[in-house]
Amino acid sequence: MTERDAFIRHMLEDPLDDAPRLIFADWLEENGEAELAEFIRVQIAISREDACDRQDEPNGCRPFKPEGKCFPCQRNVPRRQREHELLTSKFGAWTDNLPDCLVAKQCPHCMDQAADWETNVVECGRCECTGLVQDQDNVEFRRGFVEAISLSTQDFLDNAARLFAAAPILEVRLSDKAAYHAIIEGDGRPCWTWWKTLWGGKESQLPPELWEILVPKDRSYIIPWDNITIYNKPTEDAANKALSQGLVTLGRRTARLPPLHEPTPAT
């Protein structure tokens, strides 16, 4: 394990803590990666300012009295601009360790061009004949690193170990799975739920390893005549948040990372 690997591993083991990221930023600056170091510091500063919920803030932050909260501090305006500049210029370099299913898409310009009759390759200057271009829609950088991702269930299962060993991921959205609005048989209560099986239909199934995390056996609700197992949540947001948390737990387990622990509240 190199020194860089050790810093990354420390960050992955405790992704909720800013300290390992800031220490890594110092190391990056000392080792010729000043832009990534700056990006980490800028995003951490933005996250801290955006988290402010006090009525009065110095240095230009304006209170929004009906809500009792502050607008994001005006100091974040230049930070947001610098964040955009760095991410636009370095997105490819900072995501080259992630699978193409997350950070690339089919080049739209290739579809309008004919293949060369000798090589049978579309000679597209936009994608340098690779057929792929960058896609920033499926990843979100927070505090300097990719923290939120969106991908299909199969892509997640195929790449979970690689993804969680490469980035401190804290949120996962499945592009082909979502909570269903349902009525619980017997009492008519509405709920948001995931189906384990649905009359044998594969398109609605969750992977068994994920289901075991989401729904302990003593908390599931089984409808034997329909071969359905459900676990309900009161709202769509709650169901999707629980699904994301289950995916993160599964991803960290696959990458052999310790379980997440919530930071201790300040006293």
Q: What is the pLDDT of residues 198-238, one digit of tens each?
A: 444 444 567 778 877 877 665 555 554 454 556 667 788 88
**For residues 72-98, average pLDDT:** 84
pLDDT tops 60 at residue 265? no
Q: Burial level of 264, CB count in 10 A (0-12/13-18/19+)? A: exposed
Quick one: pLDDT at residue 111?
59
pLDDT tops 80 at residue 147? yes
Per-residue pLDDT tens digits for 163-201: 999 999 999 998 888 777 776 655 566 677 776 554 444
Helix (H, G, I), strand (E, B) or coil at 183: strand
Quick one: pLDDT at residue 144?
95
Contact 264, 19 (CB under 8 A): no
Quick one: pLDDT at residue 64?
45
pLDDT tops 70 at residue 22? yes
What ranges do the domains of the chain cover?
1-54+66-94, 97-176, 180-241
pLDDT band at 35 (very low <50, low <70, confident <90, very high): very high
Q: What angle do CA 167, 137, 172 make, to 5 degrees?
A: 45
How large is the angle between the packed helices 34-50 and 19-30, nearest 10 degrees? 150
Quick one: pLDDT at residue 171?
95
Higher pLDDT, 9 or 75: 9
Quick one: pLDDT at residue 69?
45
Quick one: pLDDT at residue 50?
61
Higher pLDDT, 186 or 156: 156
Quick one: pLDDT at residue 128?
54
Closest CA to 141 of 174, 164, 170: 170
**For residues 74-94, average pLDDT:** 86
Quick one: pLDDT at residue 15?
95
DSSP category for residue 201: B
Contact 40, 22 (CB under 8 A): yes
Q: Where are the alpha helices (DSSP H) in the chain?
A: 3-13, 19-30, 34-50, 76-94, 100-103, 153-166, 208-214, 236-254
Quick one: pLDDT at residue 1?
76
Token reading at 107: 């080049």
Amino acid at 249: T
How large is the angle between the packed helices 153-166 and 236-254, nearest 10 degrees? 60
pLDDT band at 60 (very low <50, low <70, confident <90, very high): very low
**For residues 12-36, average pLDDT:** 95
Give the CA count within 13 Å in the CB-facing half-sphere of 113.
17
